[in-house]
Amino acid sequence: MAATNAAGKGPAKKNQKITKKFIINASQPANDKIFDVSAFEKFLHDRIKVDGRTGNLGDTIVISQAGDGKIEVIAHQEFSGRYLKYLTKKYLKKQQLRDWLRVVSTSKGVYELRFFNVVNDEAEDDDE
């Protein structure tokens, strides 16, 4: 009889290698020179926790810059995209950019920093 997983459905997984790839696209604010991608990369290196401890990345999580304003995070263990979004928002707050930028998930594993849509109120003021 074949081994089954804890739920009793399907074959048991024996230490399968998990590889998750996340991309944070900050090219738009980086081109406007209000966002420092290398400082953000260092922030992620310092703040990402592995097994409940910061500064414990080792070979399990690799953070690198991928082209113009993009940061690539490759995790070889269970890793949450929401955690990456949380850390990005934390960095924006620290840099006082949270009023202008937001983090949007464009597709699975891809996050983008976008400017808030500021509506021009000048047209409404002319009517008064």
pLDDT digits (tens, 9 = 90+) for 33-63: 999 999 999 999 999 999 999 988 988 999 9
**Does residue 126 register a pLDDT over 90?**
no
Residue 57 inside a domain? The answer is yes
Residue 88 inside a domain? The answer is yes
Name the domain count of the chain: 1
Q: Three-class SS of residue 1?
A: coil
**pLDDT mean across residues, the chain:** 85
Residue 27 inside a domain? The answer is yes
Inter-residue contact 61 to 77 (CB < 8 Å): yes
Rounded CA-CA distance 68/30 in Å is 8
Please give the C-alpha separations between residue 119 and each of 28, 70, 92, 122, 123, in angstroms, as whole numbers.
19, 27, 22, 9, 10
> For tokens 């500064």, what's the residue?
55
Q: pTM, whole model, 2 decimals?
A: 0.77
Residue 42 sits in a domain whose CATH number is 3.30.1360.210
Parent domain of 74: 20-115
pLDDT at 11: 58
Residue 7 inside a domain? The answer is no
Residue 122 inside a domain? The answer is no
> For tokens 């008064």, what's the residue?
128
Residue 79 inside a domain? The answer is yes
